[in-house]
Amino acid sequence: MNIEMTPENLLIQLGYPANEATLAQIGRIIDNTPGFDKFAKHILTLNDEVKRFAGIVALSNSKDYLKVKTDSIQPEEIEAFHDVVKRWSEKYKVALEKVEGKNTYYILGQQ
């Protein structure tokens, strides 16, 4: 089955309601993320992968980007989280920005 990656579908798949505010926010994120359409469908795969390590792909409250983060406190899970995110980034040629002092990355777009 192939899911069309509309802004509404992406929001729903990430666990957000598709309302006026979230649709406006995801619109800004898409506009701000170069090459978004080329890797958008792979965001759901990343979200599924990082769930194993108490992680999620989420809308950022502070920047117009998606973020990937983990809330795990287990060193092994945190290391595995970073490895999964790095491999995903390399595979799809997506630039990330690591948030200082946190287990969080912003998805900046294709390199």
pLDDT at 49 over 60: yes
pLDDT at 2 over 70: no
Which DSSP helix (H) or strand (E) runs through 32? Answer: helix 20-32
- Is the per-residue pLDDT at 54 higher than 70? yes
pLDDT at 1: 45
Per-residue CA distances from 14 to 48, 67, 108 (Å)? 10, 11, 18
Q: What is the mean pLDDT of residues 59-77?
A: 96
Q: Are 84 and 90 in contact (CB under 8 A)?
A: no
pLDDT digits (tens, 9 = 90+) for 19-33: 999 999 999 999 999
